[in-house]
Structure 1
Amino acid sequence: MTSEDVVGERTSESAVSTIVNLAEEAKLASEGVKAPSHAALLSIAKSLVAGGVAGGVSRTAVAPLERLKILLQVQNPHSIKYNGTVQGLKYIWRTEGFRGLFKGNGTNCARIVPNSAVKFFSYEEASKGILWFYRQQTGNEDAQLTPLLRLGAGACAGIIAMSATYPMDLVRGRLTVQTEKSPRHYRGIFHALSTVFREEGPRALYKGWLPSVIGVIPYVGLNFAVYESLKEWLIKTRPFGLVQDSELSVTTRLACGAAAGTVGQTVAYPLDVVRRRMQMVGWKNAASVVTGDGKSKAALEYTGMVDTFRKTVRHEGFGALYKGLVPNSVKVVPSIAIAFVTYEVVKDVLGVEMRISD
């Protein structure tokens, strides 16, 4: 046997040995990953369930105020029916009964349950990714998320969740607005989706998407950032004896959620009005009214986000961008608070160790 044969044989043996070692390492790695992967999938499922329950419970609790807010946002300025929160709720009760207060809530829950599930889960995942990147950049393995980074994670979560369920939000708005006198009647979620798709085209299902994306950044971002930052501050400082240990009471967490909801919705509200008005465009004669002289007068038509802003302010004043803010404030404060607390409580019940603040 020549020296070349010996070298070749040794090289061959070395290559085979390397391949065997790699195969064994891969096998061990895969065996080690199997159990955690099932646990991780279960944890993801529980997180999604907790988020869905949180969304459904919080929105149903404030459904009458949600409907009144939308009616105030889109009502024709030539025919004012709703002049405020109390008067508006009484008018709905008188003209449509108890069921009228919850009109569109089924569609809202069908949208908000997956939306909330995706939003909370996306926030957790975005927070992990941003925190890992932040620690890599700073070289500090003990670094924690800052309020600004939480704002970014919340914005990512809001955009993902809103985009995934936006067509449901559009038809929910139309189902909520329609009354017995509306020329066009949608019989339900799927009928509304198919009708809009057939009569107005697939792009119509995303009318108002751009202001929604812009609005969701401060809204959802601030919700998460304010909520978690307040919790962290309370745990660290323990002001007025509110916190005796690292666990916050349900009442304290509700207060944190209420503060978060107030800040977020106030900043983003004008974009919500614009989005809702854009969603009504294309709904034939839905906004037409009969004025005092018996003539039909249609509401304004909008061609885009900027056009909607401009026409709303020009014809109705700057205050029109905050139409429905009062019932929305009354709605959002408990809604956001209930959503955050329900999410964490359900995760505790399901045995998920990680919370959003972790």
Structure 2
Amino acid sequence: MASEDVNTRSESAVSTIVNLAEEAKLAREGVKAPSQQILSICKSLVAGGFAGGLSRTAVAPLERLKILLQVQNPHSIKYNGTLQGLKYIWRTEGVRGLFKGNGTNCARIVPNSAVKFFSYEEASKGILWLYRRQTGNEDAQLSPVLRLGAGACAGIIAMSATYPLDMVRGRLTVQSDKSPYQYRGMFHALSTVLREEGPRALYKGWLPSVIGVIPYVGLNFAVYESLKDWLIKTRPFGLVEDSELGVTTRLACGAAAGTVGQTVAYPLDVIRRRMQMVGWKDASSIVTGDGMSKAPLEYNGMIDTFRKTVRHEGVRALYKGLVPNSVKVVPSIAIAFVTYEQVKDILGVEMKISD
């Protein structure tokens, strides 16, 4: 028995030494052990989720006003511009009205942002590997076009994974104190839509969302990373003293990225938001606030929604809510990018987005 115990302990010690040796070898080769990889992934997801939640909460009133402007009935205008709209919400619904739907929005944006940032990093690594293999240049770096592709992949994955929450958030957001409440919260809305409209209803507006997210998220990442690279390489106006950009400069890069992305993709955001309201019997009265809609929401697909919107309301209708969205997107994207990188620094994750 004593001999067996000694043998068991010897085998255990040898196994431990072998495992440590393998981890040391992986570390020398620049490859992380599985446990380290999992921890790094978790930290990256936490950083992305925190960045998304913080950035969206900071601009929640503008987010709600944007959606209300997008779907309001043209025959009964309640929200006429950014300042007037915010004042109207404050007067009729109070402070809580300004943040209505933000809980659901954060419940959606936290996993969405986590998946989006992580997917971008993984897509970037995969695309860079293929690019280097194709060109035979091991020192090649991602071009703006390749970054656009990686960002588009990340946007599609994140959008598809969390789309039902976005659809429900849109409906919760347009409810007001004067409208007949149909949904009491996120889970009640999900169950109600499933029961009354079926599972497919949770993905109404998915196609224009995916089409819109390709230029939106793709341009966000491509512009942000390309601007950072350009600033580090050229160092204009003495903005960059070393290889790292300051928080203010990164905020400016994020703001520029958000401005370009949202301007290109905004019409598709209007279309998908209107499609999300289809099938909701109280949507028209909720949007107009008078209980007597003159133009019920009767859209049959993305093309039909686009055609009817332009025919009845003109091309300008495709940009309803653009001003509050611009005011919202610029700081939101900037805060999200900088927060993501700062949280990863705090958590000790070595890889940055541009790496």
| Structure-2-length-normalised TM-score | 0.90
Kindly report which structure 2 residues correspond to 1:200-349, keeping only aligned pairs within 5 A, or say none.
200-288=197-285, 296-349=293-346
Considering only aligned residues, what root-mean-square deviation do their CA atoms show, in Å? 2.1
- Stretches of structure 1 that go unaligned for 5 or more consecutive residues are 1-26
Cα distance in 1 for partners of 2:113, 2:228 equals 21
Equivalent pair of 1:289/1:298 in contact (CA under 8 Å): no
| Structure 1 position 227, deviation (Å) | 0.1
Three-state SS of the structure 2 residue aligned to 1:122 is: helix
| Structure 1 position 333, deviation (Å) | 0.1
Kindly report which structure 2 residues correspond to 1:42-81, keeping only aligned pairs within 5 A, or say none.
42-81=39-78
Q: Confirm whether residue 146 of structure 1 aligns to residue 143 of structure 2.
A: yes
In structure 2, what is the equivalent of residue 119 of structure 1? 116
- The change in CA–CA distance for 1:29 and 1:349 in structure 2 (over 3 A counts) is closer
Which amino acid in the other structure matches residue 137 of structure 2?
N
Equivalent pair of 2:180/2:286 in contact (CA under 8 Å): no
Equivalent pair of 1:154/1:225 in contact (CA under 8 Å): yes
Equivalent pair of 1:235/1:243 in contact (CA under 8 Å): yes
| Structure 1 position 180, deviation (Å) | 2.2
| Structure 1 position 289, deviation (Å) | 7.3
In structure 2, what is the equivalent of residue 172 of structure 1? 169
Q: Confirm whether residue 86 of structure 1 aligns to residue 83 of structure 2.
A: yes
- Stretches of structure 2 that go unaligned for 5 or more consecutive residues are 1-17
Identical-residue share of aligned pairs (%): 86
In structure 2, what is the equivalent of residue 17 of structure 1? none
| Structure 1 position 36, deviation (Å) | 1.1
Matched positions, count: 333
Cα distance in 2 for partners of 1:252, 1:102 equals 29
Which amino acid in the other structure matches residue 86 of structure 2?
L
| Structure 1 position 290, deviation (Å) | 11
- The change in CA–CA distance for 1:292 and 1:68 in structure 2 (over 3 A counts) is closer
Which amino acid in the other structure matches residue 84 of structure 1?
G
Three-state SS of the structure 2 residue aligned to 1:140 is: coil
Equivalent pair of 2:147/2:218 in contact (CA under 8 Å): yes
Equivalent pair of 2:100/2:173 in contact (CA under 8 Å): yes
Cα distance in 1 for partners of 2:305, 2:201 equals 16
- The change in CA–CA distance for 1:107 and 1:36 in structure 2 (over 3 A counts) is same
Equivalent pair of 2:132/2:139 in contact (CA under 8 Å): yes
Equivalent pair of 1:258/1:337 in contact (CA under 8 Å): yes
